[in-house]
Amino acid sequence: MKVVTSAHELPSGCAFVPTMGALHAGHASLFTIAKKVHTNVVASIFVNPLQFEKQEDLDKYPRTPIEDIDLAANSGVTHLWLPHYSEIYPEGFSTIKAGPIANLYEGKSRPGHFDGVVTVVRRLFDLVKPNFAVFGEKDFQQLILIEEIAQGIEIVRAPIIREADGLAMSSRNVRLTPEGRSAAAVISRALSLAKSESELREMLSSEPQLTLDYADFIDEETFQPAQRDSTSVRAIVAGWINSVRLIDNMRMEARA
């Protein structure tokens, strides 16, 4: 694996996996998928300040550079790009606005977050010029918005990777206390068992350590509340445990 600090050192043509570091098995699964669609697998590590609402959240974001390099090298990455801020955001750069879906759910709770996400992803795409880009379904709303700005890049969806107890893998999970980590399993458990929106909320409300933000059944095509005739329904959940924001989602197949 080659570690580079400039996009000029990247190959022409690749499958691209942008990350913010603190890599884990979920990221490794993205790299494995990328390797299946292209010989060159480029991963980037860049903690994007534009998508954090508070400076303290940016400061607390976990950073594990040595471990990240080892995981990337062992997971099929051919080029690990560690860009400088000035390469991503040169003087005079312009931010872009995410689409209307960005005002819902995560966007409603975190104003400006998705503008920061699509701005950095657009910049990364412009610099890397990949053939494919791999994104996980855990950040499902983000995935939909990125598909809207792909402009000829094929977006490959990757399934959520979970811990043994079902908790969706996230770099933020390390900030949970042991008690909070145990309590967090309620999210995936409720998603797996609930047959209705009301049942989902009831199950989640049974965990006192979880402060729920939203728990809804949505139509995947419109991101509006699911209707009787919705053919693609997904349950989405967000909340806090130990002041750590946790998000998850699951496709809702017909449940007896």
Separation of alpha carbons 139 and 236, rounded Å: 10
Comma-separated ranges of CATH 3.40.50.620 domains in the chain: 2-158
Q: Which of the four CATH numbers 1.10.630.10, 3.40.47.10, 3.30.1300.10, 3.40.50.720 does domain 171-246 have?
A: 3.30.1300.10
Which position has the token pair 């994007």? 48
Separation of alpha carbons 241 and 181, rounded Å: 8
Strands 233-241 and 244-251: antiparallel
Separation of alpha carbons 251 and 192, rounded Å: 9
Class of residue 9 by CB neighbours under 10 A (exposed 0-12, middle 13-18, buried 19+) = exposed
Q: What is the pTM of this model?
A: 0.94
Q: Which of the four CATH numbers 3.40.50.620, 3.50.30.60, 3.20.20.80, 3.40.920.10 does domain 2-158 have?
A: 3.40.50.620
Separation of alpha carbons 162 and 166, rounded Å: 5
**Core vs surface per residue 170-202: b (16+ CB within 10 A) or e:** bbbbebbeeebbebbbbbbbbbeebeebeebbe
The tokens for 62 are 């976990």
| Active site (catalytic) residues | 27
Separation of alpha carbons 231 and 199, rounded Å: 20
Please report, in tens digits, the pLDDT of each residue of the chain (256 residues total): 999 999 999 999 999 999 999 999 999 999 999 999 999 999 999 999 999 988 998 998 999 999 999 999 999 999 999 999 999 999 999 999 999 999 999 999 999 999 999 999 999 999 999 999 999 999 999 999 999 999 999 999 999 999 999 999 999 999 999 999 999 999 999 999 999 999 999 999 999 999 999 999 999 989 999 998 899 999 999 999 999 999 999 999 865 4
Comma-separated ranges of CATH 3.30.1300.10 domains in the chain: 171-246
